[in-house]
Amino acid sequence: MVDPYHFAPMSEHPLPTMIEPFKLVAKRALVDGPVELDSLPRLRDELANKTSQEGFAEVELAFQRDQQGFATASGYVRATAGVVCQRCLGVVSIPLEASVSWAFITDETAFEDVPKAYDAIMVEDEAVSLFDLIEDELLLALPPVPMHEEGECKAPDHQSHDEGFANGSEVKQNPFEVLAEIKKKS
């Protein structure tokens, strides 16, 4: 996805919790490596298997200044998450993948100046929590109502799930839709 030869490799295992994005941009750093899902507590609360020691997210981020002068990071965050199927209440493994497009700003930058293609990330005192940002991306990638594929679900009425929703418990509102709205507005 990113040509590594144009970036200074900064592979660290494990990845640092906090980063200084403007320094990484100045170095054109490529930050990649695994992040333990257990170190992302808000995401872990959404997972079926909260004590999994083997779950890792894969992260690859290229830091660079864009043509308009914004300090940016682009790349991806992906993980496989075990969540509770809302039809049969069994565990379903779902791939989570988010394309990252961040523009780092300070309080001197007006939010409305940031191109819409970026999520604006406010940086105070030079540093931000990389783990918080990664966690936000994975939470937004979670489906609102996770379910098995047709044929893999153990729910007896999986052939007619529309009916199941009508008769069964109400569909839970995904709290992270709220977060998505906030991110869109910012």
Which residues form the interface with Zn ion (CB under 5 A)? 85, 87-88, 148, 153
**What angle separates helix 130-141 from helix 175-185, to the nearest 10 degrees?**
120
Tokens of 70: 């914004």
The amino acid sitting at 97 is: E
**At its nearest, how many Å lie between Zn ion and the CB of residue 93?**
11
Tokens of 184: 């869109």
Strand 71-84, strand 119-122: pairing? unpaired
Tokens of 110: 């007006």
Nearer to Zn ion, 20 or 157 (CB): 157
**At its nearest, how many Å lie between Zn ion and the CB of residue 78?**
22
Nearer to Zn ion, 61 or 85 (CB): 85
User: DSSP letter at 61?
Assistant: E
**At its nearest, how many Å lie between Zn ion and the CB of residue 171?**
15
Start-to-end C-alpha separation, the chain:
27
**At its nearest, how many Å lie between Zn ion and the CB of residue 160?**
14
**At its nearest, how many Å lie between Zn ion and the CB of residue 48?**
11
Nearer to Zn ion, 35 or 153 (CB): 153
- The burial of 182, by beta-carbon neighbours within 10 Å (0-12 exposed, 13-18 middle, 19 or more buried), is given as exposed
Non-local (6+) Cβ contacts of 184 within 8 A are none
The residue to which tokens 């144009």 are assigned: 6
Nearer to Zn ion, 44 or 148 (CB): 148
Nearer to Zn ion, 59 or 153 (CB): 153
**At its nearest, how many Å lie between Zn ion and the CB of residue 173?**
20
Nearer to Zn ion, 108 or 149 (CB): 149
> Cα(103)–Cα(16) distance, rounded to whole angstroms?
19
